[in-house]
Chains A and B, each alone.
Chain A
């Protein structure tokens, strides 16, 4: 870990995290948006606590999905604007690994706060402690997949101005499996007799698959957008 050859990954991670939490980084805006979505839902469906408890895991998952989608355009955009992305492309490091580290930092800055906020927002939705734990666990296992799949969309739209909306349109169909298994596993705490383990394991598998497919495809897209 002492030689700079091995340290570049750590240095990149630290740089990304510092940029994310400092002024202009906007890491915590995602959590605010998450709070806003969860606040708005009861105005739409009514303040019926039983209903909210039943659809609570789904609300939290959809809120987390939307918050992740909105934050994704920051993944490569700022680096492209100031030229850092070109330096990363020319640095001779494996670009797939660079993308993976950037995704990890992005998830730590935007995804993990969503996971931590989920139990608190669960109180508003009248969730039982068990359901709260289930939602938090599934979000912890599933939000990395959202970030990694989203990285492909972010890399594809990086050369476009105002590509955020297109990014969301491209990414949403690909995230449907994550949403399905995430909500199913979280609902297992609410509905007696539904399995938790099977959808949860599939959810973990989806995160692992996207950990391979996402960086490879995103790195390819970044290379094409540069030349």
Chain B
């Protein structure tokens, strides 16, 4: 199976180092094109004026904060079911990136909401669910940071990620339900049924650029995490050899 060939971290490192420059280049080009099109080419909205340009950051970030969680859930399945040694590295590396995209989506959303709704924060159904998602990302990061052994932390976080993945649709549904129950007087809906192609093309390019950015950061973070675990294993070995017969070094699977 092809995926299992890259279970070897050394082979994975070699491959990712070969891919990363190309991926970074593609990401830079996509951002250059996307930012140029969205800032200078795309027309202003007749209602929203210049503020519509927030959309080109906001929508890709919102899409990526969900994609990142899906990738983490898949990686967690890899950890628990196939015991793939890189799966928990992937999940751990993805969590801070996902939290960052979620935060970007929230901040740009509230900046966009200020001129549109007249308030920075509205307990709108979607903003509320994204806030809950941010809480879950931060909880997962906290769980990783409190457990010393990376393998145990990876398994614990994988269980929580999967329970969260089961729960996210329920949370989304219940927040939507709660919001329709407490529907405030008038909130402008952002999701118009149609979006003009002149706005859509830059948006899609920006979404592509952000997705590429995610993969660049993710691969880089995975490399860093593998290196960090190697340093940890070496230190443990060094510590156990200076004080022999006390304890044997616990080796990590990511060596």
Q: Which residues of A contact B (CB under 8 A)?
A: 152, 156-157, 159-160, 163, 166, 169-170, 172-174, 176-177, 180-181, 184, 194, 202, 206, 209, 213, 217, 220-221, 224-225
Knowing A166-B143, A194-B181, A213-B166, the reply to whether A173 touches B159 (Cβ < 8 A) is no
A156-B156, A173-B139, A174-B171 are known contacts; what are 13 more A-B pairs with Cβ within 8 Å?
A: A152-B163, A169-B138, A170-B143, A173-B132, A176-B132, A176-B174, A177-B173, A177-B174, A184-B181, A206-B170, A217-B162, A220-B159, A224-B156
Knowing A173-B139, A217-B162, the reply to whether A225 touches B156 (Cβ < 8 A) is yes
A160 CB contacts on chain B under 8 angstroms: 146-147
Q: Which residues of B contact A (CB under 8 A)?
A: 80, 132, 135-136, 138-139, 142-143, 146-147, 152, 155-156, 159-160, 162-164, 166-167, 170-171, 173-175, 177-178, 181
B177 CB contacts on chain A under 8 angstroms: 180-181, 184
**Whole-angstrom CA separation of A125 from B159 in the bound complex:** 40
In the assembled complex, 5 residue pairs joining A and B whose CB atoms fall closer than 8 Å, in A order, are A152-B159, A156-B143, A166-B139, A177-B171, A225-B152
Knowing A176-B171, A180-B177, the reply to whether A217 touches B159 (Cβ < 8 A) is yes
**Whole-angstrom CA separation of A194 from B177 in the bound complex:** 13
Tell me the minimal C-beta distance from B126 to chain A in angstroms.
15
**Whole-angstrom CA separation of A173 from B165 in the bound complex:** 12
Q: Is the CB of A169 within 8 A of B142?
A: yes
**Whole-angstrom CA separation of A85 from B24 in the bound complex:** 49
Tell me the minimal C-beta distance from B137 to chain A in angstroms.
10
A221 CB contacts on chain B under 8 angstroms: 155-156, 159
Classify the secondary structure of A's interface with B.
helix
- 5 smallest beta-carbon distances between A and B, as pairs: A177-B174, A224-B155, A173-B135, A180-B174, A180-B178
Q: Which of A163, A170, A177, A220 contacts B139, CB < 8 Å?
A: A170
Residue of A at shortest CB range from B135?
A173
B132 CB contacts on chain A under 8 angstroms: 173, 176
A184 CB contacts on chain B under 8 angstroms: 177-178, 181
